[in-house]
Amino acid sequence: MRLTMERTLEHIDYDDGTEELARFAKALGHPTRVAILKYLDRQSCCFTGDIVDVFPLAQSTVSQHLKELKNAGLIQGNVEPPKVKYCINEENWKLAKTMFSDFFGE
């Protein structure tokens, strides 16, 4: 017989900056996403298809990574039919920059 584990899994309450920094960091925690952001930063903006052409990954995979970056707030997407143009979200970019900078110490 096998016992199931009583898992509380209650959410730990970290202070706000901690959670937010971790969210940004998590989004940056995959080389493809770092590379996408570097690419976006060089181009200022680009379409999904441009990125798909650059990486040896399926279109759906790239789309997934873009979604994660968008959910983390690091990029934003504007529809320009039939394409979608993605750009760095400057406001959150600055915020992330500040948060990492503060974290590592001035």
Partner DNA sequence: ATAGTTTATCGTAAATAGACGATGAATTTA
Partner DNA sequence: TAAATTCATCGTCTATTTACGATAAACTAT
Q: Tell me which residues touch DNA (CB under 7 A).
A: 1-2, 4-5, 7-9, 26, 29-30, 32, 47-49, 52, 56-61, 63-68, 77, 79, 81-84
Q: Which residues contact 50 (CB under 8 A, 6 or more apart)?
A: 43
Helices (H) and strands (E) in the chain, counts: 5, 3
From the list a copy of itself, DNA, none, pick the one residue 64 interacts with, judged by a Cβ distance below 5 to 8 Å according to partner type: DNA
* Min CB(18)–DNA separation in Å: 13
By CB under 8 A, name the one of 1, 3, 22, 76 that touches a copy of itself. Answer: 22
Taking CB atoms within 8 Å and a gap of at least 24, the contacts of 91-95 are none
Question: What strands, in cross-sheet order, belong to the sheet with 83-88?
Answer: 45-47, 83-88, 75-80
CB 33, min distance to a copy of itself, A: 8
Unique residue bearing structure tokens 């096998």: 2
Task: Give the residues lining the site for a copy of itself (CB under 8 A).
Answer: 2, 5, 8, 10, 12, 14, 18-19, 21-22, 25-35, 37-38, 41, 52, 55-59, 93, 96-97, 100-101, 103-105
